[in-house]
Structure 1
Amino acid sequence: MERSASMERLDDLNKIISQYKDSPGQLIRILQKAQELYGYLPEDILGYIADKVGLPLSEVAGVVTFYSLFTTKPKGKHTISVCLGTACYVKGAPNVLEAIKKELAVDMDQTTADGLFTLTNTRCVGACGLAPAVLIDGEVHGRVKASDVPELIRQYRQRDQEGGTTTEADTGTNTVTDKTDSLKNHLPPSQAEPIIGPVLSLQRLEQIRHSYAVRYIQRMHPDQVPDWVFQKADHTLAAVPAAKSYRHQILVCAGTGCTSSRSAEIQSTLRRELQAQSLDGEIAVVHTGCFGFCELGPILVVHPERVFYCQVTPNDVPEIVERHIVQGQTVERLLYKHPPEGASRKTIDENEFFHPQIRVALRNCGIIDPENINEYIASGGYFGLAKALTAMKPTEVIETITCSGLRGRGGAGFLTGRKWAYTAAVKETVKYVVCNADEGDPGAFMDRSILEGDPHAVLEAMTIAGYAIGAQQGFVYVRAEYPIAVHRLEVAIDQAHQAGLLGQNILGTGFSFDIEIRLGAGAFVCGEETALLNSVSGKRGEPRTRPPYPAVSGLWGKPTLLNNVETYANIPQIICKGADWYAAMGTSGSKGTKIFSLAGKINNTGLIEVPMGTSLRTIIYGIGGGIPKGKAFKAVQTGGPSGGCLPAEYLDIPIDYDSLMKIGSMMGSGGLIVMDETDCMVDIARFYLEFTQDESCGKCTPCRIGTRRLLEIITRITEGKGTMKDLELLEELGHDIKEASLCGLGQTAPNPVLSTLRHFRHEYEAHIKEKRCPAGVCPALKPKGKYRIDGEKCRRCGLCVKVCPVKAISGEIRKTPFAIDAKLCIACGACAQKCPVHVIAQEGER
């Protein structure tokens, strides 16, 4: 039989299969690599893979159809994917999506007639500080407006014609390649020195730490310098050469947000400028993980002065070098301006965004080079592991974690030490440690930032956990949509192996432990522990009934310990500093600190870590800088799709697990989405229901059918077709779904509906009784939804024409008033926002 076109690259495919087929649970990785090879997964290729790995075609096809990142249909040359996560949604992503549909003349999951573009959407890319975000060929374009769409598409068409590349300067948006293989174009190689290893003893670890102390402490506030710096190292072994010291260290954020804003180019430009002035021997340029202040990227901090520069561009670099490095003066215009008064803040210590924060899980993010194990050791890294292996019994490690009061940071808040104890108690020779890095909550990006900024902390914690429960193998299950995090995990694992801190006979103690990475393939339900374990083993990510719990029967039927990234990131510090130190922070029932991703209608979008019990008011108005443009606060969504929407009356409650549960919400992974007076709470509830209904695995009827019925009812209400009886039905059905669903996704899916009904019932009633959306969001309840220009007041400036994404406005600059064609108008509002005299409004508003 003649080979099909898709069977022509079998040599490459065979190499992929042979690389992974002998490792358990690697079917998903083989399929991911095959899709990279062919662009999609043709039917005959699926049959070939099934035959080679010894599985039925039905099982392989079942995996492919379960995960959203797999496709069995050819796509266009460019794939455009609009992020519809919560932060992007409330900041205008639907308008951007409509503009793209108009520009390309396609609907969702369709390809343009010329075969150039396929349009899709994605639920969250973990880049909430860049909302609204659009991915094109895996590149994240941040802060996209509907008016940007024509130029964005034009640039990609032009690139195809000229064979060139699209840049941030071309499109006017923030861009980062979101493909691991292309990271070299956006992340300059780390300037790390060779690994000083292998590290075979605690004494050797101390020598490396002291060697790099000179560099590490220059980045610290004097009050934060750790005690060990003043202690003399044990030099009974061969001395470690002292690390080079510098007059200044310039730390440049290389997290996803700043990378999308050209921080890699800033680093390269800095190095060239310093070399040109013969300063490269005196000044170090270091790329770090996320500082947390995503709204103001790219961020650059100069040490030892700790001067905090934000929204830096490559063009600003010569001035920074000349004025700050050479002349010793501050570049005032690049300093942070605190809202609302706009006063400058010179140093990171003066910045209100950082004042209430206490960083434990985020302690190294923005401080060390995440691709340099020596810097991690200098920060105290791997000393928790050394202490556990050399000075503690496994039971003592578990007791320390238990007494600290640490609760799981991924959702329900189960006591971490208790989970470790359950797993350790099972009499089984083979056990596993798994890290849940499948951060799928729209609006949550804390796990991504930890993995990008401090990957060794997670590896160290997992190794400590392996020692405590009696496991020798760990797996990190991470979203494929997080390639920078994946890249840094791979680098960290390789370095830990070279240093002897992963693998056989760690620190000469006889304990062995190793870690592998498993990539997700697009399924929110895989955040549920049993679904995640199925996915790690290469199967459909469907949850199963419990008991047995994973602690007894998890991965491949063996006892398995599963925690998320943030939970693990706390472990090394708890072991080093003790349970009492950690338990002294937080509240009686919720110890320690919590990371929150602050996004939506907030001045300071970013990632923060505060003690448990901090109030919403402190976070939103103190750290977050309040609501933009003087708008009124309406609600904050906590806990993502599983949580609830809280009104202003709860701004002063302490945020902890128990307080949030009492008022109908939950901590979840820590997403905080702020909404203002222009947001419709009925529409927000519909948005979350649409998400959970779409992400339901379909295994149990209450979730599969129940969420669909909820969505149908609430959609009717947003269309002005609801009745008061529908509100009773929503509540009754919501409670039934919570009680009867198989896993956490279904059990919490009704929460956004129930919480908005509880706190914003008047908005539901307005939609039903008055056929009116108070916020003016729901399209069916707008008078007509189109915009018009008051011709008598029009200044004829033509600014509206330039921003209209669908060319619906006509007129002549300085000669004739402009007018909007109602048939073409998509009601995106770009023209009204741009009009300097505010003479453009929706029909019915004036």
Structure 2
Amino acid sequence: MRRPAVFLNPTKDLSPQETARLRQVIDTYAGKKGTLLPLLTEAQAVCGNWLPANVLAEIADALDVHLSYLYGIATFYTMFSLQPRGRFIIRVCASPACHILGAENLIQVLEEVLGVREGETTPDGLFTLERSSCLGVCEVAPAMQINQVVFGHLSREKIEKVIADYRAGSPVDFRTLPGSGGRVRKDLDVHRKAVLLQGVGEVDPESIDDYLKLGGYEALRKVLTSMAPEDVVEEVKESGLRGRGGAGFPTGLKWSFTLPIKAPEKYVICNADEGEPGTFKDRYIMEGNPHRLVEGVIIAGYAIGANKGFIYVRGEYYLSMYRLQKAVEQARERGFLGQRILGSDFSFDIEIRAGAGAYVCGEETALIESIEGLRGNPRVKPPFPGVKGLWENPTVVNNVETLANVPAILRNGAAWYRSFGTEDSPGVKLYQICGHVNEPQIVEAPLGLTLRELIEGYGGGMRDGIPFKMCQTGGASFGFFTAEHLDTVMDYASMQQKGGALGSGTMLVMNEQTCVVDVVRNIMHFFQHESCGFCTPCRRGTRVLYDTLTRIATGEGREGDLDLMIDLARTMSATANCALAMSPIFFVKTSIERLREEYLAHIVDKTCPLGVCPA
């Protein structure tokens, strides 16, 4: 039986300085709608990385909300804590990319080095060790994050040195870092002039002047001086740009639904939550050239008749938020944001919002709920956000990469953009390759690369020369390819025809020493952990699938479990409220169909052929 929340959530005697800072935080946000998450985030920082019971009670009184409501929020988002934590929070990434590269070993090493177990704090109050579902840095896996700073390509020696440096009082200032992960390799550009990655790694991301030298805000100037909103929507529609967040819905078409609606307020939301394991592309744009995204959001606002935009960034992306905030402030100072932009009749502003640890908030309506200060439970659709979104007003939600394409399209024209890619999938794409390759990285290329080209031409081939076995395509939500699919063209139609997906453009490559049961079990653990619990098919279905995979991994499975999992995943897909529970059917079905013998070895022979699983 669970104890009452009052015992699970201790109180804390605040110092006079902490009390004054807390009151300042409350006064800053009180009375402003939709500011509960930033308020709780700042209050947690004031209290030393956790939310004491007396602080939550004070916030509830100040906001005139029920205390149980605050507990509902604080327990939904994983980056909030109701327990005392150390000065430095160490989050070890447990995503599939980190998992296949030894994340479990890293946790064991950290437990030995720190002298505590996962979930505990060192006696000196310096470190708390936690596990994270994903950190969004798959190209430097295996990885951990200490407060705002990512450390990748980890080994025992590197972990020991990092911990020693922090103990010696030499923590890293994330604001001084060039980026959170890998670097862009300019020698591998396949179309000579980068579009999405133009300037990334070359310009100062905190300088608007550097962006202006690249032609920055020229598209915005063109739009405001010579194009009506309808013209902008039509140009984007003609370009063939499709959503780059995973679903691939035509961007111009989405805008066209919202433009004609008469409403007192409209909004543009940039979905920068990027919580899909294996996906790290949007981070490069936000960290490396944030003004490109800001310009895209402004143009989208003009196109649909909105006057306010939000960029909702996943909570772990501290450097992205820092640089985006600087970009917004600089754009406002130069007249690209605010009232009557560039002397036009168009007024628009942008607010940066931070998530707090919830993969489901990557779903557009859950994201909207989160901005409104609620738990991130996806809404029942219809109505869709384009008609009834943020605070019940028409709202367009687009992904970072999608909006970063917009300035180039408007500056150069739809025909120019369609000169890249394929007929089905025009334009350029940020592909990501990670896992068992020699050079995990991000690649900008016209749509239409093959998986083999990505692995051999950009990934540097298979790591340690161990042969290719399988690849999860498009992110953790989608299907598995095997060697027979290596020459599949990576565009929307071709990938779908082969049971995979372009998705976010990420490809998790795995070698012959990888156990499919172990990997799928890890992916399913992610989905059952990240389920918001709103609908029964997802809440219960993901747990049953994970428990079934665990039985198979431990040698207690039955042959009928394979058909059972496919049937259950198919039922979840047909009945669940959002795409989170619609995802397992893709990786469960394709992995069982294409690697059935390995599943059967665990079930019939009760052994893992690779010696990875407990069986």
TM-score (norm 1): 0.69
Q: How does 1:80-479 map to 2 (within 5 A)?
A: 80-113=90-123, 115-146=125-156, 148-149=158-159, 152-153=162-163, 156-157=166-167, 159=168, 164-165=169-170, 177=172, 182-184=173-175, 186-187=176-177, 254-257=178-181, 291-293=183-185, 348=186, 351=187, 353-355=188-190, 359-479=194-314
CA offset digits 1:260-313 (Å, max 9, x no partner): xxxxxxxxxxxxxxxxxxxxxxxxxxxxxxx424xxxxxxxxxxxxxxxxxxxx
Residue 34 of structure 2 corresponds to residue 34 of structure 1: no
| Structure 1 match to 2:3 | none
Which residue, 574, 578, 584 being the options, matches 1:749? 584
Residue 470 of structure 2 corresponds to residue 630 of structure 1: no
Query: Shift in Å at residue 636 of structure 1?
Result: 1.4
- Structural RMSD (CA): 1.8
Query: Shift in Å at residue 18 of structure 1?
Result: 1.7
In 1, the alpha carbon distance for the partners of 2:296 and 2:40 equals: 30
Q: How does 1:657-806 map to 2 (within 5 A)?
A: 657-778=492-613, 780-781=614-615
| Structure 2 match to 1:509 | 344
Q: Which moved more, 1:730-739 or 1:558-567?
A: 730-739
Query: Shift in Å at residue 667 of structure 1?
Result: 2.0
Query: Shift in Å at residue 77 of structure 1?
Result: 4.0
Partner amino acid for 1:124?
Answer: C
Partner amino acid for 2:422?
Answer: T
Secondary structure of residue in 2 paired with 1:5: coil
1:79–1:117 Cα contact (<8 Å) kept: yes
1:423–1:552 Cα contact (<8 Å) kept: yes
In 1, the alpha carbon distance for the partners of 2:199 and 2:160 equals: 41
Query: Shift in Å at residue 113 of structure 1?
Result: 4.9
Partner amino acid for 1:23?
Answer: K
Which residue, 594, 601, 611 being the options, matches 2:446? 611
Query: Shift in Å at residue 14 of structure 1?
Result: 1.3
Residue 530 to residue 154, structure 1, CA distance change in 2 (3 Å): same
Structure 2 runs not aligned, ≥5 long: 1-10
What percentage of residue pairs aligned between the two structures are identical?
45
In 2, the alpha carbon distance for the partners of 1:537 and 1:104 equals: 39
In 1, the alpha carbon distance for the partners of 2:40 and 2:571 equals: 38
CA offset digits 1:220-259 (Å, max 9, x no partner): xxxxxxxxxxxxxxxxxxxxxxxxxxxxxxxxxx22226x
Q: Which moved more, 1:553-562 or 1:731-740?
A: 731-740
Partner amino acid for 1:292?
Answer: V
Which residue, 14, 17, 34 being the options, matches 1:6? 14
Partner amino acid for 2:56?
Answer: L
In 1, the alpha carbon distance for the partners of 2:146 and 2:533 equals: 30
Query: Shift in Å at residue 584 of structure 1?
Result: 2.2
| Structure 2 match to 1:45 | 55
In 2, the alpha carbon distance for the partners of 1:485 and 1:115 equals: 28
| Structure 2 match to 1:542 | 377
Partner amino acid for 1:689?
Answer: M
Q: How does 1:791-830 map to 2 (within 5 A)?
A: none
Partner amino acid for 2:578?
Answer: C
Query: Shift in Å at residue 402 of structure 1?
Result: 0.6
Secondary structure of residue in 2 paired with 1:561: strand
CA offset digits 1:73-100 (Å, max 9, x no partner): 0013443221112221111111111232
In 2, the alpha carbon distance for the partners of 1:7 and 1:58 equals: 26
In 1, the alpha carbon distance for the partners of 2:435 and 2:30 equals: 43
Query: Shift in Å at residue 610 of structure 1?
Result: 1.3
Partner amino acid for 1:13?
Answer: L
TM-score (norm 2): 0.94
Partner amino acid for 1:255?
Answer: G
Which residue, 456, 481, 492 being the options, matches 1:621? 456
| Structure 1 match to 2:77 | 67
Q: Which moved more, 1:584-593 or 1:616-625?
A: 584-593
Residue 691 to residue 385, structure 1, CA distance change in 2 (3 Å): same
Secondary structure of residue in 1 paired with 2:356: coil
Residue 65 of structure 2 corresponds to residue 58 of structure 1: no
Partner amino acid for 1:772?
Answer: T
In 2, the alpha carbon distance for the partners of 1:366 and 1:156 equals: 28
Partner amino acid for 1:649?
Answer: E
Partner amino acid for 1:257?
Answer: G
In 1, the alpha carbon distance for the partners of 2:453 and 2:12 equals: 62
In 1, the alpha carbon distance for the partners of 2:321 and 2:603 equals: 48
Structure 1 runs not aligned, ≥5 long: 167-176, 188-253, 259-290, 294-347, 782-846
In 1, the alpha carbon distance for the partners of 2:320 and 2:161 equals: 30
Query: Shift in Å at residue 487 of structure 1?
Result: 1.0
Query: Shift in Å at residue 555 of structure 1?
Result: 0.2
Partner amino acid for 2:44?
Answer: Q
In 2, the alpha carbon distance for the partners of 1:115 and 1:495 equals: 39
1:358–1:611 Cα contact (<8 Å) kept: no
| Structure 1 match to 2:8 | none
Residue 510 to residue 126, structure 1, CA distance change in 2 (3 Å): same
| Structure 1 match to 2:434 | 599
Q: How does 1:645-660 map to 2 (within 5 A)?
A: 645-660=480-495
2:95–2:523 Cα contact (<8 Å) kept: no
Larger Rg: 1
Partner amino acid for 1:49?
Answer: I
2:148–2:174 Cα contact (<8 Å) kept: no
| Structure 2 match to 1:239 | none
Residue 710 to residue 508, structure 1, CA distance change in 2 (3 Å): same
CA offset digits 1:311-353 (Å, max 9, x no partner): xxxxxxxxxxxxxxxxxxxxxxxxxxxxxxxxxxxxx5xx4x3
CA offset digits 1:159-213 (Å, max 9, x no partner): 2xxxx325xxxxxxxxxx4xxxx444x24xxxxxxxxxxxxxxxxxxxxxxxxxx
Aligned residue pairs: how many?
Answer: 603
Query: Shift in Å at residue 364 of structure 1?
Result: 2.6
| Structure 2 match to 1:214 | none
Residue 765 to residue 357, structure 1, CA distance change in 2 (3 Å): farther
In 1, the alpha carbon distance for the partners of 2:311 and 2:377 equals: 18
Secondary structure of residue in 2 paired with 1:425: coil
Query: Shift in Å at residue 527 of structure 1?
Result: 0.1
| Structure 1 match to 2:361 | 526
Residue 66 to residue 586, structure 1, CA distance change in 2 (3 Å): same
Query: Shift in Å at residue 68 of structure 1?
Result: 0.2
Partner amino acid for 1:87?
Answer: A
